[in-house]
């Protein structure tokens, strides 16, 4: 094995193919998109260099700014919900269900493997009104209320989208955090219990600090996936009513592929990338500051 690692020719043969594929599939498209953000037009009309005009247009584009706030709001609410409920489930697996948690883990994780579009259609049928009224309005009617047309309002659509996202991804974060909790040595937990720590005190002072790295990873993973939400909101209500629940990814898709404004679409993609970077660095920086304190 040492002879293989010491042979430069072998190292180059092993490294060059994956590096070449990575550069072709990742680096080149990113650089191409970055370059397009300084142009206006498409392949039929031709491209015209406009400098930073696309960025100034974005800053004054009401529809783009609305999509930006929809994206940020959805990401923050979904991330807090996913990680919080996932962590509570993980605690349930480890400290209550213990070895009998396998069936519950599988059942809660199952929605994660379902296609997003199918899940969106399922939840749309849950809140439907009219001849094919869903069970949610049946329950409201049972308690004497009038049927609510959730998809007709921005708040109803976003609430349905948040619940749908939480239902489909909560099991994944529960399993992810569960593996982190299993790494905490039993001796530390037993010592804390002998010292009188138990219940919420044990979780707050021992479990949460020791599981901070996996919690941090979960938050970053969730933020980056929810900031790029696309198919769930599109399948649920098409970004509607109107464009009130259209995230930045959907606005970028329509700009680039429906209106053939490749340059401005690339600018929106760049803004989204910077948004993911800012959120990730903010979480890293806040966690590092807490460790230093």
Q: What is the pTM of this model?
A: 0.87
Condensed to tens digits (0 to 9), the pLDDT of residues 234-267 reads: 999 988 898 899 999 999 999 998 998 999 999 9
- CA dist 68 and 51 (Å) reads 22
Selection from 167-176, 180-189, 191-200 with the highest mean pLDDT: 167-176
User: What pLDDT is attached to residue 99?
Assistant: 73
pLDDT over 70 (residue 56): yes
Q: How confident is the model at residue 1 (pLDDT cuts 50, 70, 90)?
A: low
Does any domain span residue 11?
A: no
Mean pLDDT rounded to a whole number for the chain: 88
Residue 209: burial class (beta carbons within 10 Å; 0-12, 13-18, 19+): exposed
> Is the per-residue pLDDT at 291 higher than 70?
no
What is the predicted pLDDT for the residue at 6?
Answer: 66
Looking at the domain assignment, is residue 285 inside a domain?
Answer: yes
Residue 91 inside a domain? The answer is yes
247 phi and psi, to 5 degrees? -75, 175
Tell me whether residue 83 is in a domain: yes
The predicted model gives 4-22 an average pLDDT of: 82
Which residues are 39's β-sheet partners?
A: 49
CATH number at residue 159: 1.10.3720.10
Please report which confidence band the pLDDT of residue 2 belongs to, taking 50, 70 and 90 as the band edges: low
How many domains does the chain divide into? 1
Residue 171 near residue 111, CB atoms below 8 Å? yes
Q: How far is CA 249 from the centre of its chain?
A: 12
Cβ atoms of 241 and 151 within 8 Å: the answer is yes
State the pLDDT at residue 75. Answer: 95
Give a yes or no: residue 55 inside a domain: no
278: in domain: yes
Arithmetic mean of pLDDT, 140-162: 92
Split at pLDDT 50, 70, 90, the class of 182 is confident
Domain contains 255: yes
* pLDDT at residue 103 in the model: 84
b/e burial code for range 265-275 (CB count within 10 A of at least 16 → b): bbbbbbbbeeb
The pLDDT of residue 158 is above 90: yes
Domain extent, residue 170, equals 62-292
More confident residue, 1 or 86: 86
Q: Is residue 10 part of a domain?
A: no
Q: What is the CA radius of gyration of the chain?
A: 24
Q: What pLDDT, on the 0 to 100 scale, is given for residue 227?
A: 93
Overall average pLDDT of the 281-285 stretch: 84
Both structure tokens of 293: 């304190």
């Amino acid at each position: 094995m040492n002879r293989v690692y010491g042979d430069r020719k072998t190292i180059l043969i092993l490294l060059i193919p994956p590096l070449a594929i990575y550069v072709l599939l990742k680096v080149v498209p990113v650089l191409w998109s970055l370059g397009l953000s300084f142009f206006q037009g498409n392949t039929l009309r031709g491209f015209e260099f406009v400098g930073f005009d696309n960025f100034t247009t974005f800053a004054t584009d009401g529809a783009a700014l609305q999509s930006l706030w929809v994206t940020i709001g959805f990401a923050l609410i979904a991330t807090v919900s996913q990680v919080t409920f996932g962590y509570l489930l993980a605690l349930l697996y480890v400290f209550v269900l213990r070895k009998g948690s396998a069936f519950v883990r599988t059942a809660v994780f199952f929605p994660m493997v379902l296609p997003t579009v199918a899940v969106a259609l399922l939840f749309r049928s849950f809140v439907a009104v009219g001849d094919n009224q869903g069970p949610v309005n049946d329950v409201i009617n049972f308690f004497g209320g009038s049927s609510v047309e959730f998809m007709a309002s921005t708040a109803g659509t976003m609430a349905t989208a948040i619940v749908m996202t939480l239902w489909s991804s909560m099991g994944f974060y529960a399993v992810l955090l569960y593996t982190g909790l299993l790494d905490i040595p039993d001796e530390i937990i037993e010592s804390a219990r002998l010292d009188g720590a138990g219940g919420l005190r044990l979780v707050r002072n021992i479990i949460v600090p020791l599981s901070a790295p996996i919690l941090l990873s979960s938050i970053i993973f969730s933020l980056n996936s929810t900031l790029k939400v696309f198919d769930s909101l599109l399948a649920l209500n098409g970004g509607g009513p109107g464009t009130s629940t259209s995230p930045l990814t959907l606005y970028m898709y329509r700009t680039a592929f429906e209106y053939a404004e490749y340059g401005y679409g690339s600018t929106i993609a760049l803004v989204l990338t910077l948004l993911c970077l800012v959120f990730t660095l903010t979480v890293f920086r806040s966690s590092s500051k807490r460790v230093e304190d």
